[in-house]
Amino acid sequence: IISYDCPTYILSSTTASVVDLCSGTSSIITLSGLPAGLYSVTYELNNVLQTPANMTVNATGSGTFIVSGFTTLGTKSIAIKSLTSGTSANASDNCTSTINSANTVTVTTTSSGTAPVALPGTAATCTQITANWQAVSGASYYELDVATDAAFTNFVSGYNALNVSTNLTRNIAGLSNATNYYYRVRAFKGTCISANSNIITYKPAIVPSGVTLAPVTGVNCSVFIANWTTETNATNYLLDVSTDINFGSFVNTYNSLNVGNVTSYTVTGLAASTIYYYRVRAQNGCGTSAGIPMVQFTTTTAAIPGTIVSASPTNIICSVFTANWNLQANATSYLLDVSTDINFGSFVGIYNSLNVGNVNTYTVTGLSTSTIYYYRLKGRNGCGNSTVYSNSQTAKTLDSAPIAPTAVVSSGVLCNQFTMSWAAATNALTYQAQISTDNAFPATAVTQTFPGITATSYTFTGLTVGTVYYYRVLARNGCGDSVYGVPPSTSVTTLTLPSAPTISASGSLNICQTSNVTLTSSAATNNLWSTGAVTQSIIVSSAGSYTVKVVNSAGCESPSSVPSTVTISNLPTATAGGSITICSNGSAIVAGANATNGNILWTINGGSGTLTNETTVAPTYTP
């Protein structure tokens, strides 16, 4: 009898190689920490027991075996359950040892293939969306995953690696609103599936909540404005209006009337002094909101507008006049009639109860020249129109263009401007002035035109000094323009500038600190010094540059004079030399003296004798 004691084996590690689907579908599993020999390995793949694999362990204590079938991206777990080994050529005939530690490993399946780029979904509704992605060149088909979690552990039924052929879109239907969905795509090319694309997220909309109504506004005899607040998920609103609190009947078209995506709506065509109810529901592609709050209100019994008081017409020209009237308290708009018949038996153009809005003036156009017109008005609001017309007004349109302006004169002539004035022209509304350096007034840069003048004078500015200018003016109204009025003198010459004065000085411009100098202008009057003085002469005791110009009575200024620059000299200083002793019959040269900023002059102080060379630094003294 041969007996054999079965050993107990303990693994030091279990590892697995990464699977690249573009290179194969198998992983090499490596077990370490075993004696050399032949083994049969019992293992589970994702908790499913597999057919045992044979493995040979080398002298270093490591052995490998191959697990196949990794055809999808992701991870799977390998668990080593037991090892069978012995001296028999068939490992399964020998001892079996259960393995409980260092016996699990995760196999990761990747792909080196090009992944598609997932694009945002389109055609989204409450229950569906169209997934989109970019093409991968050479792809045989695409796989689509749809899940309710970003980790893709909870797949939507039918959307786990769904083969969508070579299509680049797929409609995903049967979704639940208010639920987050995620989709991703893979491409199969050649022999392998690619890695996953980026993930696109979509959350279908939900049915709108109930609408919150706001107070009614703009209530009058036949109108009100329904108001409500915005509901986040709404794309439009349905409005009901009824005189029945239970909404058993509806007013006109206001039965689930789609008023669009707005938060107010003007309801018209109502009866005065009547109780109405309105309600609003929010709607989108998912459905219509439940819960219908209601607002009750009563239309007003406000009076119709009173009689309008018209006012005299203005701005009357050949084909136009402006009708005027006073505003009436209850009116929201006005109806205008215009006729050539004082009894208004006929009307001019569109001016038959023309609604001109809530204004108190209106320009009537398209009229004939030299024609008498009449106008009248009624006020209007939601309750009705004024019962009687306003008083009528008369307007007679002009028959021709205005006459040319007369009494055209110039005044206020200065160096760079002058004023043209004229007498008012009959029928004129505005005037147009022209100025030119050419008496033919050519349409070039030398001619300037100034239209739209409502006064009877105009000041031309920015002119060139000493220049001849020609000027003229015409009158204008809606019928046309007059000819230009000719001034009695056809031109005016702007004043020339005074000549620049010169400056004379009373002495040297280099003065002592305690001295001054008088500067005098060659012009007797109209001087303006750079100091601001306006006299002919100024007394200067400060260093600086001084100029003067002439400003004549017309305000024209000459160029400034050549500057006179005044400088200030420092005070002189003198230092005598030391004392010396001499004989009464001798003489001495005084030495050691110095002086600055002036001329030397020696004097005898408290004694007698004579000095020679007394204006030099070293004079000679003789007792």
**CA–CA dist 354, 365 (Å, integer):** 13
Phi, psi (deg, nearest 5) at residue 91: -60, -30
**What's the average model confidence in pLDDT over 164-187?**
94
Tell which phi-psi region holds residue 524, choosing left (phi > 0), alpha (psi between -120 and 50) or beta. Answer: alpha
Mean pLDDT of the region 607-616 = 82
Ordered DSSP codes for 321-336 = EEEEE---TT-SEEEE
Q: What's the pLDDT at 422? A: 95
User: Regarding the domain delimited by 213-299, which CATH topology (the fold level of the hierarchy) does it fall under?
Assistant: Immunoglobulin-like (2.60.40)
Please tell me the predicted confidence (pLDDT) of residue 93: 54
Distance from C-alpha of 379 to C-alpha of 388, rounded to nearest angstrom: 9
Exposure string over 586-596, b if 16+ CB within 10 A, otherwise e: eeeebeebeee
Closest CA to 25 of 45, 3, 40: 45
Q: Which residues of 343-361 are buried (b: 16+ CB within 10 A; e: fewer)?
A: ebeeebeebeebebeeebe
Render pLDDT for 467-482 as a digit per residue (tens, 0 to 9): 999 999 999 987 889 9
pLDDT at 447: 94
229 by Cβ neighbours in 10 Å (0-12 / 13-18 / 19+) ranks as exposed
Report whether pLDDT(209) > 60.
Answer: yes
> What is the share, in percent, of the chain residues with pLDDT greater than 70?
96
Strands 333-339 and 321-325, bridge-based pairing: unpaired
Please say if the pLDDT value at position 214 is more than 90: no
Q: Determine the pLDDT at residue 153.
A: 94
For the chain, what percent of residues have pLDDT higher than 90?
A: 61
Q: Per-residue pLDDT tens for 520-537?
A: 999 999 999 999 999 999
Q: What is the pLDDT of residues 33-83, one digit of tens each?
A: 999 999 999 999 999 999 999 999 999 999 999 999 998 888 999 999 999
Out of 13-22, 49-58, 378-387, 540-549, which region has the weakest mean confidence (pLDDT)?
A: 378-387
Comparing 293 with 454, which gets the higher pLDDT? Answer: 454
The CATH H-level superfamily of 406-494 is Immunoglobulins (2.60.40.10)
Sign of the C-alpha dihedral, residues 594, 600, 606, 610?
positive
More confidently predicted of 466 and 144:
144
Superfamily classification of domain 503-569: Immunoglobulins (2.60.40.10)
Kindly list the distances between the CA atom of residue 429 and the CA atoms of 398, 400, 424, 480, in Å, as whole numbers in the listed order: 11, 12, 10, 10
What is the spatial distance between Cα 534 and Cα 501, in angstroms, rounded to a whole number?
A: 13
Which pair of structure tokens corresponds to residue 286? 């998912």
pLDDT band at 89 (very low <50, low <70, confident <90, very high): low
CA atoms within a 13 Å half-sphere pointing along the CA-CB vector of 49 = 4
Mean pLDDT of the chain: 89
State the fold for domain 117-202. Answer: Immunoglobulin-like (2.60.40)
**Cα–Cα distance for residue pair 601/597, rounded to 1 Å:** 13
Q: Quick one: DSSP state of residue 214?
A: E
pLDDT greater than 70 at residue 446: yes
69 vs 6 pLDDT, higher one = 69
pLDDT at 86: 65
- Collapse the DSSP code of 54 into the 3-class scheme (helix H, G, I; strand E, B; otherwise coil) and give the result: strand
Measured CA to CA, the distance from residue 145 to residue 186 in angstroms comes to 9
CB atoms within 10 A of CB 170: 21
Q: What are the residue ranges spanned by the domains of the chain?
A: 8-85+94-111, 117-202, 213-299, 310-396, 406-494, 503-569, 573-622
pLDDT value for 461:
93
The phi, psi pair for 466, rounded to 5°, reads: 60, 35
Class of domain 310-396: mainly beta
What digits encode the pLDDT tens for the residues 288-334? 887 677 777 666 656 788 899 999 999 888 889 999 999 998 888 99
pLDDT at 436: 94
**Strand ranges across the sheet with 588-589:** 588-589, 620-622, 610-612
- Determine the pLDDT at residue 560: 93
- pLDDT of 92 reads 46
Strand partners, 338: 375
Coil/strand/helix, residue 145: strand
At 4, the pLDDT band (50, 70, 90 cuts) reads low
pLDDT score of 5: 66
